[in-house]
Amino acid sequence: MSALAVVRPGPLTTVQDLGRRGVAHLGVPRAGALDEPALRAANRLTGNDPGAAVLETTVGGVALRTLGPVLLAVTGAPAPVRVDGRPAAWGAAVAVPANALVEVGPATHGVRSYLAVAGGIAVPPVLGSRSADLLSGLGPPPLAVGTVLPVGPPPALRPRPELVPLPAPPAGLVLRLHLGPRADWFEPGAVARLARDRYRVAAASNRIALRTDGPPVGRARSGELPSEGMVLGAVQVPPDGRPVVFLADHPTTGGYPVVGVVPPADLAAAAQARPGTPLRFVLLRG
Amino acid sequence: MADTAEAGALYAWLSALRAAGELPAVAEIVPAARTVLLDGAEDVPALTALLTAWRPAAGTGPQGPLVEVPAVYDGADLAEVAALWGVSPEAAVRIHTEPLYRVAFCGFAPGFGYLTGLPERYEVPRRATPRTAVPAGSVALAGPWTGVYPRSSPGGWQLLGRTALTLWDTGREPAALLAPGVRVRFTAVRPG
């Protein structure tokens, strides 16, 4: 079994898989990779199971030393990949010898790159997942200098080469929105304006939620909503009126009304939208 | 749902259905104050029909396991809560140890249960300024709820006391001692 030692953790690098399911009723967020298609692509490229744990970087990349030979692949936000200073491929399997320095540079665009190694990151699972949950602190802490990450035994599958599309820099983020369950808590017309108005991705966005800057969505009802269950993609409107789109580390219950829910298929793009990116909502009928 | 008790009954019924393999696509069933969230429904019309036909059973409803929580009632807000209730601290402890509580739902942190059972007249507000660190095991009140902090965290609830029980342990099944549906009795014990 091989391992990776962290040389530079970057601004925020965490271990992520498909997340914790079936424990939301205990107050446990789902966690997991924010850009799930990128996680799956990285795992296919290295021959892993779809749910093997990988590393999720945030804008600034990561640097690791291999403590044994590994096969790795980087997907998600495009970034320069280097092995001992020499350029290596993004979006393809790269065989790396022991004691090599692997660097994923700053993302050229997008936010989160994914680095998979054949065998997966083999930290001990907690409640069925190896994901770091930054809301409640479950799972492995974010990477720090010197962290040693065990790598699992190489998968039996032979990795299959594939062409991973290089994402183009997005001109803007468009999120579809199923209205409800609490659209009636907002002023008549506020929901229609939500679809017309222009928002931007706010700097306070993180793994818990994509926050927005833009015109406030006016409430028709004051007072508190008794706490209710929250789903991935729920768009909560706190008292300041700025919609908040829940991402993987979202709380399992909440007391602000949810005006609508963004379908999961749109959330990978949300995970890759940098602060300042123009954002609009498109209402889905029915 | 009409109230927290009805939401709890629906949650118990849905959980039993899922345990019997009848809701295969449902990944999560999350009870809350007045709602039950089903995440991952496959056949929405069938599920809607099932839910529309459901009526809460008469009587006490399904009974969850009973957990006794021994607590030392020396919390920083005990005197203040007693004053809000217009009773002595000793009487406040008797009031809090009297009801049989039920965990309505979890939230705020893994294993933090919202316990219902305290009579409505004993509702207390949250503290105006939350504490930056509430110790693990703190027994606390806010609004209609009683809760026990599973680990040290910031918190705005009124602190009545503390328990030595481990509320949250990911190596245990279930990890939460106070999972939804569990019935809870607090008992006053001496420090030591």
Average pLDDT over chain B reads: 94
Q: Where in chain B are the domains?
A: 4-53, 66-188
Tokens of B145: 């709820």
Asked if B179 is an interface residue toward chain A (Cβ–Cβ < 8 A), one would say yes
Q: B residues 128-147 near A, CB within 8 Å?
A: none
Question: Which residues of chain B neighbour A28 with C-beta distances below 8 Å?
Answer: 110, 175
**CB of B32 less than 8 A from some CB of A:** yes
Assign domain A173-284 to a CATH class. mainly beta
User: At B99, which amino acid appears?
Assistant: P
Q: Which residues of B touch A136 (CB under 8 A)?
A: 109-110
The DSSP result for A163-214, as a single string, is: ----PPPPS-EEEEEEE-SSGGGB-TTHHHHHHHS-EEE-TT--SSEEEEES
Cβ contact, residue pair A25, B28, below 8 Å:
yes
Q: Is A180 on the interface with B (CB under 8 A)?
A: no
Alpha carbon distance B47, B187 (integer Å):
41
Q: Of A268, A256, A13, whose CA–CA distance to A134 is shortest?
A: A13
Q: What is the pLDDT of residue A161?
A: 80
* DSSP-derived 3-state class of residue A3: strand
Would you put residue A129 in left (φ > 0), alpha (ψ -120 to 50) or beta?
beta
| Subunit contact A136:B175, Cβ cutoff 8 A | no
Q: Where are the alpha helices (DSSP H) in chain A?
A: 36-45, 190-196, 267-271
- Closest partner residue to B39 among A28, A126, A231, by Cβ? A231
φ and ψ at residue A133, rounded to 5 degrees: -110, 110
What are phi and psi for residue A60, nearest 5 degrees?
Answer: -95, 0
B176 vs A: CB within 8 A: yes
Instruction: Return the pLDDT at B42.
Output: 84
Q: Are strands A228-229 and A234-236 parallel, antiparallel or unpaired?
A: unpaired
Mean pLDDT of the region B116-125: 96
Interface test with B, best of A126, A230, A253 (most B CBs within 10 A): A253
A229: nearest CB among B37, B111, B179: B37
Q: pTM higher than 0.90 for the full model?
A: yes
What is the C-alpha to C-alpha distance for residues B67 and B172, in angstroms, rounded to an integer?
15
Cβ of B170 and A25 within 8 Å?
no
A104 alpha carbon, distance to own chain's centre: 17
| A76 token code pair | 């998600």
Nearest to A135 by CA among A4, A254, A282: A254
Q: What is the pLDDT of residue A57?
A: 98
In this structure, the strands spanning A209-213 and B131-134 are unpaired
Optimal mutation site among A26, A138, A182, interface B, most CBs of chain B within 10 A: A26
Both structure tokens of A155: 């998968």
pLDDT score recorded for residue B79? 98
Which residues in A lie closer than 8 A to residue B39 (C-beta atoms)?
Answer: 24, 229, 231
Residues in A touching B37 (Cβ below 8 Å): 228-231
Polymer length in residues for chain A? 286
* CA dihedral for A201, A24, B60, B46, sign (positive or negative): positive
Over its length of 286 residues, how does chain A's per-residue pLDDT go in tens digits?
A: 799 999 999 999 999 999 999 999 999 999 999 999 999 999 999 999 999 999 999 999 999 999 999 999 999 999 999 999 999 999 999 999 999 999 999 999 999 999 999 999 999 999 999 999 999 999 999 999 999 999 999 888 777 788 888 888 778 999 999 998 999 999 989 999 999 999 999 999 999 999 999 999 999 988 778 999 999 999 999 999 999 999 999 999 999 999 999 999 999 999 999 999 999 999 997 5
Nearest by Cα to B139 from B164, B116, B106:
B164
**Number of other CB atoms surrounding residue A124 within 10 Å:** 8
- How many Cβ atoms are within 10 Å of A111's Cβ, its own excluded? 22
Coil/strand/helix, residue A43 = helix
What is the band of B117 on the pLDDT scale with cuts at 50, 70, 90?
Answer: very high
CATH topology of domain B66-188: Cyclophilin (2.40.100)
- Rounded to a whole number of angstroms, the distance from the CA of B82 to the nearest CA of chain A is 26
A5 and A98 Cβ atoms separated by less than 8 Å: no
**What are the boundaries of each domain within chain A?**
3-150, 173-284
Is B44 within 8 Å of chain A by CB? no
Q: Token match 């990795």: residue?
A: A159
pLDDT digits (tens, 9 = 90+) for B29-76: 999 999 999 999 888 899 999 999 999 887 655 678 999 999 999 999
Dihedral of the CA atoms A280, A284, B1, B6 (nearest 10)?
-100
Angle at which helices B89-97 and B78-85 cross, to 10°: 90
- Distance (Å) from the alpha carbon of B190 to chain A's nearest alpha carbon: 30
> What pLDDT score was predicted for residue B141?
97
Q: What one-letter code names the amino acid at A254?
A: G
* Confidence (pLDDT) at B59: 64
Please tell me if residue A27 touches chain B, with a CB cutoff of 8 Å: yes
CA pair distance A131, A150, nearest whole angstrom? 14
Rounded CA-CA distance A223/B192 in Å is 43
What distance in Å separates the CA atoms of residue A13 and residue A270, rounded to the nearest whole number? 18
End-to-end, the C-alpha distance of chain A in Å comes to 51
Q: Please give the biggest Cα pair distance in chain B.
A: 57
Contact A229 B27 (CB under 8 A): no
Q: Do B174 and A26 touch (CB under 8 A)?
A: yes
Q: How far is CA A185 from the centre of its chain?
A: 29
- The conformation of residue A196, written as its DSSP 8-state character, comes to H
Q: Which of A14, A13, A33, A21 is nearest to A271 (CA)?
A: A33
